[in-house]
Amino acid sequence: MTDLVPPHGGTLKDLVVDETRAQKLKSEATQMPDWDLTERQLWDVELLLNGAFSPLEGFLGKEGYNKVVKDARLADGTVWPMPITLDVTDEFVSNNLLEEASRVALRSPEGLVIAILTITDIWRPDIEWEAKNVLGTTSTDHPTVHKLLHETNPVYVGGTLEGLEHPTHHTFQEHRYRPQETRRLFTKRGWDRVVGFQTRNPMHRVHCALASRAARETEANLLIHPVVGETKPGDVDHFTRTRCYKAVLDRFNPQTTELALLPLAMRMAGPREALWHAIIRQNYGCSHFPIGRDHAGCSDDDGKDFYGPYEAQEYVGRFEDELDIEIVRFEEHVYSEKKQGYVPKSEAEEGATFKYISGTQLREMLKSGEKIPGWFSYPEVLEQLRERYPSRQEQGFTVFFTGLPSSGKSTIANIVNAKLLEHGSRPVTLLDGDIVRKNLSSELGFSKHDRDLNIRRIGFVASEITKNRGIALCANIAPYQETRRQVRDLIEEVGGFILVHVDTPVEVCKKRDRKGLYEKAEEGIIDNFTGVNDPFEAPENPEVRLDTTETTPEQAANRVLLHLQSEGFIEEFQNA
Ligand code: ADP
Ligand code: ADP
């Protein structure tokens, strides 16, 4: 069988060893130091092992790394734009006395040995230099710069890999192909020209238009090849996206189109990334690679793009002669009202205003239940997205009551609980401070450490309830701003978070205190009592602030319910 498109660097490197060697390595691995691969490293190892990163045979050594960062070339001069490196801690190197020729067992999060690394180099990289050269910026607004500067270990270890087995995936197995498998498929079907279409978005109309245009103009078959590893933070998760791809596949001719999922960890590196993507698709056996507007780009916190719209196309052009995959360049496409479809901007009617919906806008529109216009996407895609981003009335949410002891948190939360149960739209769980301390945190006291741990546990439980579209009501003192923020971040990922500050003045709380705890604290009988001898950091921007001095518990609860109603979390409420 001859390869129709030669793999980058000449041969496709499948780094998984044969069964006998694998058995031998497996038993030797018990004597080797273990490195637990981070998520990013695991994605990289998978593509190193299966040949998608050919001609790489492992993690870059120092010389290769320097040359890749500086010139986008490997030590032997072959084009390769992305530093593929293994970052480890100082302790790992020193505790295991690592040096050249040491071997390390690389493990998956489940503890499986995936590959053995034989070390060639150990060095401390200049991360800022790497960021500047590869990403063109050192701004931590760039997700990969942020990762490099804040989440990357200080030591790089280079070396060759011997894979014990290819990592497996348990989802969408019918669309998982390694480079050897797509190549085999293309040969079997007689596909000698294949466009490999990159995307990290659900395929909306513009993506489908571009993919089919690329195939049509080059008279090639189409491999829809979306990234399902790491993409830009905030992107639609790949489970949902793959359901969208499967749904939209019906619009393509099954005789000429295939869907394959690419487990790549993107770097959002614009120009360098585009070149890398082209090389990877060449390894999968594609003959053509489309690059459109701002390929694999991202923007800073003010919305300013890090890369020019056509910078990726220009950059790849400099290396094109050395690739065996042809670049298909696309101008920015816009929706033309007149032509009722997507067209290159320069061909669109003059004076037309272009409509555009960003990923963030789309998610907001879905959550608020707003109608998404037909020019933007297809009903079958939107149906999948609606499932994932339900309107507020279908989302789960957490109401988090915070405040001094005896401020009224439990009393109000209990009434809200009763009203929501009466309403019956979703299951409700009340995580009251005392109940939680009894069931989840019985060993904890009231030091800052213990209080934070307690709140984080509650936050975790509430986030699970919220994720599964229930309602969690938490009533805890939760005195620390930072911990409340962490809980908010966790929960807002999966649903709504409503912080209610029960802001009853301490004098009133003291008067209401049935257990006489304030008195005991003032007499020094109890330590760490919030409001007396322990701090309470008042929230700056709670969604609801209640001073219960002059109100009844029912009125306070009603305020919370009205807020939930006005924000769309519950429908028109029968007032008490
Ligand atoms: P990424 O480039 O990060 O993968 P997308 O999934 O949005 O992001 O894009 C997939 C491909 O489609 C890229 O080559 C991109 O340049 C191209 N593309 C997306 N939208 C447009 C558009 N409106 N005009 C031209 N090209 C586009
Ligand atoms: P926490 O949970 O904040 O420690 P509790 O709800 O256990 O506070 O206690 C608050 C006490 O104050 C209860 O005895 C409650 O009946 C009384 N109370 C009086 N007015 C109100 C009000 N408007 N809101 C809440 N509680 C009130």
Give yes or no for residue 293 CB within 6 A of ligand 1.
Answer: yes
Average pLDDT estimate for 443-470: 95
pLDDT of residue 434: 87
Distance from the Cα of residue 168 to its chain's centroid: 20
Ligand closest in space to the Cα of 332: 1
State which of 410, 474, 512, 529 you would mutate to test the pocket of ligand 2, scoring each by most atoms of that ligand within 8 A of its C-beta: 512
**Radius of gyration for the chain, computed over Cα atoms and rounded to the nearest angstrom:** 28
Nearest CA residue ID for atom 25, ligand 2 = 408
Under the banding of pLDDT at 50, 70 and 90, the label for residue 423 is: confident
Ligand closest in space to the Cα of 414: 2
Please say whether the beta carbons of 501 and 403 come within 8 A.
Answer: yes
Assess whether 199 carries a catalytic annotation.
yes
| Bridge partners (DSSP) listed for residue 428 | 471
Give distance in angstroms: CA of 309 to centre of ligand 1: 10
Ligand closest in space to the Cα of 550: 2
Q: Which atom of ligand 2 is nearest to the CA of 475?
A: 2
pLDDT digits (tens, 9 = 90+) for 16-42: 999 999 999 999 999 999 999 999 999
Q: Which residues line ligand 2 (CB under 6 A)?
A: 403, 405-412, 475, 502, 512, 514, 548, 551-553, 556
Ligand closest in space to the Cα of 316: 1
pLDDT of residue 381: 97
pLDDT digits (tens, 9 = 90+) for 379-388: 999 999 999 8
pLDDT of residue 369: 82
Nearest CA residue ID for atom 26, ligand 1 = 292
Please say whether the beta carbons of 71 and 133 come within 8 A.
Answer: no
Q: Which atom of ligand 1 is nearest to the CA of 296?
A: 3
pLDDT of residue 354: 75
pLDDT digits (tens, 9 = 90+) for 308-322: 999 999 999 999 999
Under the banding of pLDDT at 50, 70 and 90, the label for residue 574 is: low
pLDDT of residue 197: 98
CA distance 451 to 483: 9
The CATH number of 2-163 is: 3.10.400.10
Percent of the chain predicted with pLDDT > 70: 98
pLDDT of residue 425: 86
Please say whether the beta carbons of 337 and 349 come within 8 A.
Answer: yes
Domain(s) labelled CATH 3.40.50.620 in the chain stretch across: 173-262+266-388
| Catalytic member of 201, 256, 414, 528 | 201
Closest CA to 502 of 420, 400, 415, 361: 400
Give distance in angstroms: CA of 359 to centre of ligand 1: 12
Q: Which atom of ligand 1 is nearest to the CA of 232?
A: 3
Give distance in angstroms: CA of 207 to centre of ligand 1: 7
Average pLDDT estimate for 501-524: 95
Q: At what angle do helices 553-566 and 409-423 cross, to 10 degrees?
A: 50
Residue 355 DSSP code: P
Give yes or no for residue 200 CB within 6 A of ligand 1.
Answer: yes
pLDDT of residue 340: 87
As given in the structure block, the two tokens for residue 216 are 């049509």
Q: How crowded is the C-beta side of 298, counted as CA atoms within 13 Å?
A: 26
pLDDT of residue 1: 47
| Catalytic member of 200, 213, 243, 267 | 200
Residue 135 DSSP code: I
Assess whether 200 carries a catalytic annotation.
yes
pLDDT of residue 204: 96
| Catalytic member of 66, 120, 182, 199 | 199
Tokens 């003291």 found at: 510
Assess whether 549 carries a catalytic annotation.
no
Nearest CA residue ID for atom 24, ligand 2 = 553
pLDDT digits (tens, 9 = 90+) for 228-275: 999 998 899 999 999 999 999 999 999 999 999 999 999 999 999 999
pLDDT of residue 576: 46
CA distance 505 to 508: 5
pLDDT at 53 over 80: yes
Q: Which atom of ligand 1 is nearest to the CA of 268?
A: 3
pLDDT digits (tens, 9 = 90+) for 56-79: 999 999 999 999 999 999 999 999
pLDDT of residue 540: 93
Q: Which atom of ligand 1 is nearest to the CA of 291?
A: 14
CA distance 295 to 329: 11
Percent of the chain predicted with pLDDT > 90: 88
pLDDT of residue 352: 67
pLDDT digits (tens, 9 = 90+) for 342-392: 999 988 887 666 778 888 889 889 888 889 999 999 999 999 999 988 889
DSSP class per residue in 203-272: --HHHHHHHHHHHHHHT-EEEE--B-SS-STTPPPHHHHHHHHHHHGGGS-TTTEEE-BB-------THH
Domain(s) labelled CATH 3.10.400.10 in the chain stretch across: 2-163
Q: How many helices (H) and strands (E) does the chain have?
A: 20, 18
Q: Are strands 471-475 and 397-403 parallel, antiparallel or unpaired?
A: parallel
Q: Is 117 helix (H, G, I), strand (E, B) or coil?
A: strand
pLDDT at 511 over 60: yes
Classify domain 397-566 at the CATH superfamily level: P-loop containing nucleotide triphosphate hydrolases (3.40.50.300)
Q: Is 191 helix (H, G, I), strand (E, B) or coil?
A: coil
Domain(s) labelled CATH 3.40.50.300 in the chain stretch across: 397-566
pLDDT at 573 over 70: no
Phi, psi of 402 (to 5 degrees): -125, 150
Mean pLDDT of the residues in the chain: 95
pLDDT digits (tens, 9 = 90+) for 387-406: 988 889 999 999 999 999 99
What's the CATH number of domain 173-262+266-388, 3.40.50.300, 1.10.3720.10, 3.40.50.620, 3.90.105.10? Answer: 3.40.50.620
pLDDT digits (tens, 9 = 90+) for 104-158: 999 999 899 999 999 999 999 999 999 999 999 999 999 999 999 999 999 999 9
